[in-house]
Amino acid sequence: MKILVTTTSFQDTPGAHHQILEDAGFEIIRERGPLPEKRMLELVGEVDAFLCGDDEITSKVIDHALPQLKVVSKYGIGLDKIDIEYLTAKGIPLTFCPGVNHTTVAEHTFALMLALFRKLIKEANHVANGEWVRITGNEIMGKTLSVIGLGRIGKEVAIRANAFGMKVIGFDLYWDDDFARSHKVERAQSIDEALNAGDIVSLHVNLSDETRALINKDRISKMKDGVVILNCARGEIIHTHDVINALHSGEIGGYGTDVLDIEPPPSDHPMLRAPNTVITPHIGSRTFESVERQATMAAKNLVLALQGEAPLAQANDAPLTAHI
């Protein structure tokens, strides 16, 4: 049975997940994703299952993969690159890995925040270049943090913000009163109320039609002057050119992001030259601890689904059928 494995974190990190696939006797086809639709079309057709990252699994890819394709196992939780509706209509189970990377991404959010407020990248580069330049930064204690999306990751960000002495305002469609009371999170009644209240805005929502270009020129104009925006969700949640223009004008004081609208970005991507940014290459969940949890879950999901057994987490309601 042939399995296409595209997630680089899975491939590059040692751990029990490799043994799970080996013990199942699979033939592994390795590619380094995320892969665009064109490359996926070249690879599928004789592949029985995908263990994928953020590859483009479109209706065209699914059609080309059938009738051989039996299961798609997503490494991670973001499903916006997969045509779930079409995959489900074709009866292909889709598994994913919730609840395994929230602490890691929350820590990365604070790494971006502190890097911006204390000018850490500039300072480290000065010293590396033999220069002893001392720039005055800012504290985050006492600042208002607006957390947009209080799922697992957003909640972990709120917990850490409390430890730093920040005021936390949150917005989520599915409000958790018990959590908010326990961790002193003030509820915003609308997303705009939350965005406009924050000295810092941290984005933790899924990409959808409703959240695409959520941070745009109109909303930026109503936010606090010099607001710092953090994005460990999806690059398309911001309107790239609107944010770049606001960085140049000073309306946005800093943008810390682990994601871009094109990944990997071309060398001339305008965000790479924007001022007051800290950009990392989608590594928010890439720690040895988190990768081991995610990869093991993704591998177990794959094997269980191919055996016709309930996976640890399934993202659609396609029926399970035993194939091994």
- For position 175, which CATH number holds? 3.40.50.720
Say if 49 falls within a structural domain: yes
> How far is 1 from 22, CA to CA, in rounded Å?
12
Residues with catalytic function: 234, 263, 282
Residues 266 and 154 occupy one common structural domain: yes
Say if 237 falls within a structural domain: yes
pLDDT along the chain (324 residues), means of 10: 96 96 96 96 96 97 98 95 98 96 97 98 97 97 98 97 98 97 97 98 96 98 98 98 98 98 96 98 95 97 98 98 95
Its domain, for residue 242, covers: 102-279
Task: Output the pLDDT for position 144.
Answer: 98
Residues 90 and 22 occupy one common structural domain: yes
Say if 26 falls within a structural domain: yes
- Identify the CA nearest to 81 among candidates 33, 46, 47: 33
Say if 20 falls within a structural domain: yes
Say if 321 falls within a structural domain: no
The number of distinct structural domains making up the chain is: 2
Task: Output the pLDDT for position 171.
Answer: 98
Residues 143 and 267 occupy one common structural domain: yes
Task: Output the pLDDT for position 169.
Answer: 98
Please list, residue by residue across 54-90, b when 16 or more beta carbons sit within 10 angstroms of its beta carbon and e when fewer do. Answer: bbbbbeebbebbeeebbbbbbbbbbbebbbbebbeeb
Residues 238 and 254 occupy one common structural domain: yes
Pair of tokens at residue 267: 């060398």
Task: Output the pLDDT for position 132.
Answer: 97
Residues 94 and 132 occupy one common structural domain: no
> Who's near 274: CB < 8 A, 6+ residues apart?
243, 244, 247, 248, 255
Task: Output the pLDDT for position 4.
Answer: 98
Residues 153 and 172 occupy one common structural domain: yes
- Please state the length of the chain: 324
